[in-house]
Structure 1
Amino acid sequence: MNRKIYVQSGAIAAVVIALAMLPASVTKAAASNPIPMIDYPAPQQIAAPAIETAQASQLQNLPPRYVPQAPTQGAPDQTLTLPQAAPQSSPPPAEELPRPQGQEGTLEVPTSERQPQTTVGRIQVTATDDTGRWIQDLRKQDLTVYEDGIQRPVLGLQRDIDMPVSIGIVVDTSGSMSWKLAAAEAALQHFVRTLNPSDQAFLIAFSDRTFLLQDFTVDPAALDRAIGILHANGETALYDAVVQGLQKVEQGRWPKKALLVMTDGMDNKSSNSLNDAIQAARRAGVLIYTVGLGTAGGSSMGTSPMTITPMFGGGGMRFGHRHQMGGGEDERVDAATLQSLSDETGATTFVMNPRVTDMSALDAHFQSISAELREQYTVRYASAGGARPHQIRVEGSRPGVEVRAPKWAADAGS
């Protein structure tokens, strides 16, 4: 028994000794017969994600158009962390209404009736007495506003005495204007010098094409220089100039906008129609003051020839049918079209024949327009809103007060 155990122990010891000697022999053999070593590529380092995954609540609280800052070149890899979201308080548990005794099933809670959505509409209103002088103490209860035939509540009334205006000046420079331009330039330069410091204005000249001579500016000197380079040539694309002038003035900074259009002829070159110009005026919600230099003539609207006689008593205008002012057929002004554009927007029309009328009347009328812009009121009313223009009617309830307002209002906004 003892001998058997001894033999096994001796065998184990021999195996251990042999294993210990094996590395030395292998090393010696490798030294005498070297084996080529194979260079395996080192495992690539997998970079950590550059941006942490943000929770949905974090994404909702990012500022608009948030752009994460990229790490600086050459800097070690950094983890970009989105702004921390403000802690959200958990909503209180829903309160269950007690179920009435003796009844089973769900309890129905009555819902309130859905109210029609309204927005705030804004229009400019001019109020004068029977002599044409402006009313300076108008109250909102003195006005009634109808939108698409439905009376709407008047929410507020503000006098525009200090309200800045975005103004577009659109001047006819067709060939027939050559001998009238000097007086027109002087009147326009006087007009821009009477604007308020915050008012912005641009100048467009048109004949058979339309040219922007001066973009929006608050600098009267820049407008003076642009007015000074007007020259006459070509035909009359009046409707195109009105449409393009409206598109430009709608880009103005201020909510109150006006367009001053001066021409001495009838349209003979436009790609737009008269209806295009009228529809553009309805959509824009812009006051369009029109000035015609020449004899009052008919229009493509089929209106009979008319004479528009101005009466100055503080800026109000009276339309009369007194006498046909002199002038040849080539000097007729489309007075009916001009009056239609102004009536649509609540502004005025002035037609004069420069051959028989002192051109200083033109300067006086421009000054009247400048003053009227400060004597108007902005009326806020509850509008049905929507993307289309609304038909507007404004009535005055104070005796002896006449109210002039646009016939259409652009889509209302809050």
Structure 2
Amino acid sequence: MTQIVAQMLLLMILPLSLLAIDEVKSHPSLQRQPSISQGPQNPQSPPKSGEDWQQDEPIQLESNLVNVVFSVADRENRFVTDLKKEEVVLLDGDTKQPIAFFGRSRELPLVLALVVDFSGSQEFIWPQERDAAQTFFNEIFRPGHDYVAVASFRNTLQLHTGLTSQRERLDRVFKTLLRIDTGSARQGTALYDAIFTTIDEVLDGKTAQRILKQNHLIPRRALIVLTDGRDTTSLRAPAATTDRAHRALVTIYAIGIGDDFRFSGVNQAALGGLCRETGGRDYYPRDPHELRWAFKEIAEELTSQYVAGFYPSETIRDGSFREIRLEIPGRKDLTIRYRRGYFAKAGQQ
């Protein structure tokens, strides 16, 4: 209890240190350049301080703490926002775990990457995607509190802005970002490489780690991908991509959309697998109206989530993947969405 009080006092006297840095590291294990290439980047000054995060119990960065971000919906698919800690049961494997921290995750910083497929199958839809994405960020993005990166891909990944907390920079990216038509699908599409690299170099990269350390909080991390789900040239397998998302605690949302007039349709099985494994959702809009609705649904979920943190009771740390389960025994009519598990710490006893 004394430790918690001390942590709360520390949070009250330390303002959030905010970053807007575009540096990323190259990934030595990717042999064919699926790592990020960057367009021109301008130096930017640190953003102004945003609202402080407040919670009854502060969620701190602890080496053994496992946090689970989850959403709850009723039978009409309306998000439930009145859930209490006592109603939730968390199991690590078959072992019930005490929930050390619980609360609405809306107050936590959001670290989010938007990844857009610019391959030939997406030729005609980027203007509609851009408009819907801008509306989404206007609703959900809190300057000085949240961090956003924007990237696009064909057979390689292009980073248009690294993690930034400045609305002006985000607006500038959407204003200047244009899809250049190649007129051909022969370049290929490296979907899994793009997602893996965005997680590895942006959402879990150096800048993200500095945000975590300086804020003394556990930000929510999410990735939204706009694509038809067709991968033709990736070096990374789907399982490797979901494993990387689990290790970085990233939730993946997919908006499956393509141009059926030129190339094959949307691969719903691939996108659905990525999202289910990481606790996200997949959407398949058929027109611009449904595209805006998909973004609206994601925004509503991101603002209705909970976070539950626990300290695993097992003493062995072998780096293996451990399944977790969340249950709400007293409310059987509810649906819970969360990631399937976590990787245990390695080399600790």
TM over 0.5: yes
Higher alpha-carbon deviation: 118-127 or 400-409: 118-127
2:281 maps to: 348
Which of the residues 197, 204, 224 maps onto 1:250? 204
Distance 1:333 1:246, change over 3 A: same
| Alpha-carbon separation, structure 2, partners of 1:391 and 1:140 | 21
| Alpha-carbon separation, structure 2, partners of 1:351 and 1:153 | 38
| Alpha-carbon separation, structure 2, partners of 1:243 and 1:281 | 8
SS of residue in 1 equivalent to 2:263: helix
**Is residue 265–residue 331 contact of structure 1 (8 Å, CA) maintained in 2?**
no
1:403 maps to: 336
- How many residue pairs get aligned? The number is 261
2:295 maps to: 366
Aligned: 1:148 with 2:63: no
Distance 1:220 1:364, change over 3 A: farther
Distance 1:156 1:412, change over 3 A: farther
| Alpha-carbon separation, structure 2, partners of 1:224 and 1:367 | 19
Aligned: 1:202 with 2:149: yes
2:80 maps to: 135
Distance 1:329 1:229, change over 3 A: closer
Q: Deviations over 1:259-282 (max 9, x none)?
A: 111102410111212222122222
| Alpha-carbon separation, structure 2, partners of 1:180 and 1:347 | 23
2:53 maps to: none
Task: State the shift of 1:230 in Å.
Answer: 3.1
| Alpha-carbon separation, structure 1, partners of 2:233 and 2:279 | 27
Higher alpha-carbon deviation: 377-386 or 213-222: 377-386
Equivalent AA in structure 2 for residue 403 of structure 1: I
| Alpha-carbon separation, structure 2, partners of 1:275 and 1:382 | 26
Q: Deviations over 1:154-177 (max 9, x none)?
A: 223111222211101111000221
Which of the residues 291, 311, 322 maps onto 1:382? 311
Q: Deviations over 1:104-127 (max 9, x none)?
A: xxxxxxxxxxxxxx9432110101
1:262 maps to: 226
Report percent identity of matched pairs.
26
Q: Deviations over 1:192-227 (max 9, x none)?
A: 222122110001110011111111111223223323
Task: State the shift of 1:191 in Å.
Answer: 1.8
| Alpha-carbon separation, structure 1, partners of 2:306 and 2:275 | 17
Distance 1:343 1:280, change over 3 A: same
1:315 maps to: none
Distance 1:282 1:334, change over 3 A: same
Distance 1:394 1:381, change over 3 A: same
Aligned: 1:336 with 2:336: no
2:178 maps to: 230
TM-score for both structures, normalised by structure 2: 0.69
**Is residue 281–residue 344 contact of structure 1 (8 Å, CA) maintained in 2?**
no
| Alpha-carbon separation, structure 1, partners of 2:122 and 2:253 | 19
| Alpha-carbon separation, structure 2, partners of 1:260 and 1:336 | 17
**Is residue 123–residue 409 contact of structure 1 (8 Å, CA) maintained in 2?**
no
**Is residue 344–residue 407 contact of structure 1 (8 Å, CA) maintained in 2?**
yes
Give ranges in structure 2 of 5+ residues lacking alignment.
1-62, 213-217
Distance 1:147 1:222, change over 3 A: same
| Alpha-carbon separation, structure 2, partners of 1:130 and 1:375 | 16
Distance 1:364 1:221, change over 3 A: farther
**Is residue 155–residue 190 contact of structure 2 (8 Å, CA) maintained in 1?**
yes
Distance 1:175 1:229, change over 3 A: same
Q: Report 1 or 2 for greater relative contact order, CA contacts < 8 Å, sequence distance ≥ 6.
A: 2
SS of residue in 1 equivalent to 2:76: coil
| Alpha-carbon separation, structure 1, partners of 2:116 and 2:168 | 18
| Alpha-carbon separation, structure 2, partners of 1:374 and 1:265 | 26
Larger Rg: 1 or 2?
A: 1
1:21 maps to: none
Which of the residues 68, 73, 86 maps onto 1:123? 68
**Is residue 243–residue 280 contact of structure 1 (8 Å, CA) maintained in 2?**
yes
Higher alpha-carbon deviation: 389-398 or 120-129: 389-398
SS of residue in 1 equivalent to 2:266: strand
Aligned: 1:166 with 2:166: no
| Alpha-carbon separation, structure 1, partners of 2:344 and 2:178 | 36
Higher alpha-carbon deviation: 184-193 or 198-207: 184-193
Task: State the shift of 1:398 in Å.
Answer: 2.8
Equivalent AA in structure 1 for residue 247 of structure 2: R
1:211 maps to: 158
Task: State the shift of 1:150 in Å.
Answer: 2.2
Task: State the shift of 1:411 in Å.
Answer: 4.0
2:326 maps to: 394
**Is residue 167–residue 201 contact of structure 1 (8 Å, CA) maintained in 2?**
yes
2:136 maps to: 191
Aligned: 1:283 with 2:247: yes
